[in-house]
Amino acid sequence: MNLLNKIATIYIAVLAVSACNKINSPAQDEGLMQFDAIHPARTAKAAQSTQAVQTKATDAEFEADDKIGVYITGYEGEQPLELELGGNYKNNNAVIFDGHDWHATPAIYWGNKFEKFDIYAYYPYGDPQSIKEMAFEVAADQTVAETPDYMSGYESSDFLFASCKGVTPEYGKINLKFSHRMSKLTVKLVKGPDYDGELPTKDVNVLILNTVTKSIIDLSTGDVIKHPRAATKNITAKREATDRFTAIVVPQMINYNIPLIEINCGNVCYIVNSRFHFKSGIHHTINVTLNNNPEKVEIEIGGEIEGGWD
């Protein structure tokens, strides 16, 4: 082989290696902003575990086709730009879970307009008409089951929020640690000493009475308040077990000793009167002891669990 043939052979080999490198490299992902949405339940499990957590999102109760909304703002020097309804780096960009990974639709790239970014995310995905006063309402009937087109009444009520400040491309995948922003109430039914038989497995429903179901949310902080002019409604709680019912409630203070819980067991109705403070991000528990005489119902307000309820 002469010198020219050797040079040509080497050149072709170099081109082939370069071509293979281009095919095998993730060139299409260069500059792509990637996310991992961490459900509060996963955070709670991690806090209880002594092992390194490598849990996939499917183990933390986000499911395939779940969609979060993401807003992204930049910095001018070291000064973060204010989050607004429009005009941000990204405005309510959908990020969808495929069962393994999260994908922004449309894709989001780091770009070169800003060096640092603030990320704001929420779930379930919606169409906010205000950043400081986003309207959100929990479902009045939280027993409604999930369908192929709609979330269940309970899940659609569970507003989650996450933010991550000052991120740069060096961060790699952005971990969005979501937290519950509404309040959760679990009512446990307890059989009293003079209650005949066992607690019924059918024809039982629990209502949370006299609460405001409409809220106002600040998407820059995740803070939630009840709507000041909304009327109160009753919430039908979801049944989790024979003796346990749960509901998502807008954070609010019940200042007066008024009917708070109604329990219907067949033809018998029990009413529980109480003051109560539904706190943001808190799981409250109440034990209600039932007797044959509905007027002898007893209530025990249990503990408060912060953060990662299931």
Range scoring the smallest mean pLDDT among 12-16, 46-50, 114-118, 163-167: 12-16
Is 150 a residue whose pLDDT tops 70? yes
Residue 231 has pLDDT above 50, yes or no: yes
Q: Which of 76-85, 177-186, 192-201, 268-277 has the lowest mean pLDDT?
A: 192-201
From residue 176, give the alpha-carbon distance in Å to each of 121, 164, 182: 8, 7, 18
pLDDT (tens digit per residue) in 155-199: 999 999 999 999 999 989 999 999 999 999 999 999 998 888 888
Comparing 37-46, 65-74, 190-199, 265-274, the range with the smallest average pLDDT is: 37-46
Domain ranges of the chain: 30-124+159-180, 183-306
**Per-residue pLDDT averaged across 64-91, rounded?**
97
Interval 3-18 mean pLDDT:
40
- If one counts every other C-beta atom within 10 angstroms of the C-beta of residue 134, the result is 19
pLDDT higher than threshold 70 for residue 9: no
- The yes or no reply on domain 30-124+159-180 and CATH 3.50.50.60 is no
Residues 147-157: what's their mean pLDDT? 94
Q: Write out the E strands in 67-182.
A: 67-76, 79-80, 90-97, 102-105, 117-123, 134-137, 160-167, 174-177, 179-180
Residue 74: is its pLDDT beyond 60? yes
DSSP label of 102: E
DSSP string spanning 24-55? Answer: HS-GGGTTB--EEEE-HHHHHHHHH-SSPP--
Q: Residue range 111-130: average pLDDT?
A: 95
- pLDDT, position 93: 98
3-state helix, strand, coil in the chain (%, to 5): 15, 45, 40
Confirm whether 30-124+159-180 and 183-306 share one CATH topology.
yes
pLDDT at residue 213 above 50?
A: yes
* pLDDT bracket for residue 21 (50, 70, 90): very low
Work out the pLDDT band at 310, boundaries 50, 70, 90. low
Half-sphere exposure (Cβ direction) of 151: Cα atoms closer than 13 Å: 20
CA–CA dist 121, 68 (Å, integer):
7
The dotted CATH code for 183-306 is 2.60.40.2630
Residue 38 and residue 164: Cα distance in Å, rounded?
12
